[in-house]
Amino acid sequence: MARSKKPAAPEPPVWVSLPHELYAATCAELVTFSHKTVNSNAPAGGIRLAPEQGLKLPYVSARTLLGAGEALALDYPANAGKTATAVKQLNQLREGSATAPADEAERILATLTEATAQGTQIGTDKVSLRARQLLLPKEGGYVAVTPLTAGGLNRKLRARVRQHNDHLKETPDDSRRRIPFAVFGLGGSNPQNVGSLVRDMQRPLVFFAPPENRQVKAILALHFQGVRIRLPRPLLRAFRDWCADCRRRHGGLIPTNMATRDEEIVHIRRIARVVLAQGEAARQRLLAHLDVLPAGGSPLVAAEAAPLNRGLVDPELRDKDWPRTFALHLAGLIADHRFGDGQEEFQFEQADIHELQAMIEEVAR
């Protein structure tokens, strides 16, 4: 039985001697984010983060890696002459894989450290027409943002994922999964024009979306939007038939005597109570799923929801004007409702709508 051979160790990179002046000029213009990652034909430029711009936050980004003490590989804003070779060897020195003579390596690293001790911006005085822009809301207006890729971050991620996948290949573990890469055609026929880290940017990670949980989705919708009123059509139809019968028996008008008014109040109260019960049912659903709500369901309905919808779900969120607001809204919904069955629709005067509002408000208080 033939035994599989272990792959040979990669050959160490060949060191190319370059003038120190080239390294000094190249280091001064190294960037964390390059304009070329958006469009390889964009004018040269980019941004280099300063060490003090690191952030200590629980997610992965160029700034959080800086905050964690990680050194990101930097890139050139434009490829010209021997720039690509110089940057490639600079990153090899940083990563400890270069085969440069010790004294030359020490001198180059000192130049690199001194040049990149501060952040810088190159070619950012105006935005290229080739750069994509997003408009993000801010303080009542919008700010235009051009997303840029940090090639050094891509290199870190790719190295960690390859390490993870190689470990699983050697030591299978059913509790952990291999992380797949995709292929992203970046840079056209000459990727080097984008940057020296372009090959790391060409291998994005693949994530599969979790399956939809309709129950959780509905619970979160209730939390962020409150409950929306659904008119009980059977009760509305019964009210319409009662109105039509009153008009037919009294010459086209609804009598204003106490008996007729009491019958009308019964219909309206039934409708209002069913709508209020919808809010109570939503409240019970939210209380039963506090574990999936932000901040443990406090408040039960998010502040972004409409005040009417919030109060319908949670009575504690109702102010003194809520019953009147609710009554006015529900009366309008009843008056505007259309059955679409070819029969007579509601025909209310403004005074009739005010009467409905008063009846509903009595139930809501």
Is pLDDT at 236 greater than 60 in this prediction?
A: yes
DSSP string across 215-262: HHHHHHHHHHH-PPP---HHHHHHHHHHHHHHHHHTTTS---SHHHHH
- pLDDT attached to residue 60: 92
Report pLDDT digits (tens) over 103-137. 999 999 999 999 989 999 999 888 888 888 899 99
Percent of the chain residues past pLDDT 70, beyond the cut: 97
Name 46's bridge partners.
34, 122
Report pLDDT digits (tens) over 141-191. 999 898 998 999 999 999 999 999 999 988 888 888 889 988 888 777 778
Question: pLDDT band at 139, cuts 50/70/90?
Answer: confident
Distance between CA atoms of residues 239 and 220, nearest Å: 34
The region of weakest confidence among 182-186, 278-282, 353-357 is: 182-186
- pLDDT attached to residue 9: 61
307 or 255, greater pLDDT: 307
228: left (phi over 0), alpha (psi -120 to 50) or beta: beta
- pLDDT attached to residue 347: 78
Question: pLDDT band at 228, cuts 50/70/90?
Answer: confident
- pLDDT attached to residue 1: 47
* Residue bearing tokens 């204003």: 256
Average pLDDT, the chain: 88
Is pLDDT at 365 greater than 50 in this prediction?
A: yes
- pLDDT attached to residue 46: 93
Distance between CA atoms of residues 155 and 78, nearest Å: 19
Distance between CA atoms of residues 8 and 85, nearest Å: 25
Distance between CA atoms of residues 85 and 195, nearest Å: 11
Handedness of CA 142, 147, 152, 157 (dihedral sign): positive
